Chain A
Amino acid sequence: AQKITQTQPGMFVQEKEAVTLDCTYDTSDPSYGLFWYKQPSSGEMIFLIYQGSYDQQNATEGRYSLNFQKARKSANLVISASQLGDSAMYFCAMRGSNTGNQFYFGTGTSLTVIP
């Protein structure tokens, strides 16, 4: 079975500082994908970044990077130079081929950026 764990229910970060949001996963799939989504208070889930299990390089998208450690089964999201607009819920998710490519989500981390 697939499982995603986010152990930080809430995080605070000073504006312009970097922050790391933790995500660990459990899967027996040889091939899988890892995703991060942002959910502002409006409710819509916004895709941020993707990492494939066979990708050698860590994924980066602007101020977002994914610290992928396959042996540790972790996929932490790093947000550099935090902005007030980064305040939101952040969800880690996984998709695996052995489970019909269904997405599994973690419970989320609430990030608050302090001016």
Chain B
Amino acid sequence: KAGVTQTPRYLIKTRGQQVTLSCSPISGHRSVSWYQQTPGQGLQFLFEYFSETQRNKGNFPGRFSGRQFSNSRSEMNVSTLELGDSALYLCASRYELDTGELFFGEGSRLTVL
């Protein structure tokens, strides 16, 4: 069974640009969540989608958005990039919302110059 797949793994952008990250969950998993990880802040929750609906949302500005498709694949978008957006973005999937652990991808490492 394939794990959670995130693309791209590494990317470099400049301030003001926008970026789209993709996440394919484990087959059969309907929930996808996104986290931002930085050395100073640890893992910060961005949002979670379940069956194409946003279920939970963290405390991030509106520049951060996401969506989930009917095949459970998810994308997150960051517009008007800032230097502080440089981070490892982790995607995680789970089968249901109220049971089980999160299964994580290897992350997308974004550098904003």
Q: Is the interface of A mostly helix, strand, loop or mixed?
A: mixed
**Is A43 among interface residues, defined by CB-CB distance under 8 A?**
yes
Q: Nearest A residue to B88 by beta-carbon distance?
A: A43
Indicate if B49 sits at the interface (CB-CB under 8 A): no
| Shortest Cβ gap from A58 to chain B (Å) | 17
Q: Is the CB of B105 within 8 A of A102?
A: no
User: Does A8 touch B at the CB level, under 8 Å?
Assistant: no
Cβ proximity bits B29-67 to A, threshold 8 Å, 1 near / 0 not = 000010100000011010010000001100000000000
Interface assignment of A25: CB less than 8 Å from any CB of chain B:
no
**How many interface residues does A have (CB within 8 Å)?**
22
Known: A100-B55, A100-B56. Contact between A105 and B43, CB under 8 A? yes
Cβ of A102: which chain B residues have Cβ within 8 Å of it? 33, 45, 48, 56
Among B15-23, B70-78, B90-98, the stretch in contact with A: B90-98
A47 within 8 A of B: yes
Residues of B within 8 A of A100 (CB): 48, 55-56, 97
- Residue-wise interface mask of A (88-109) relative to B, using a CB-CB cutoff of 8 A (1 in contact, 0 not): 0001010001011111111110
A45 and B92 contact, CB distance less than 8 A: yes
Q: Is the CB of B45 within 8 A of A47?
A: no
Q: What A residues does B45 contact at CB under 8 A?
A: 102-105
Contacts of B42 in A (CB 8 A): 91, 105-108
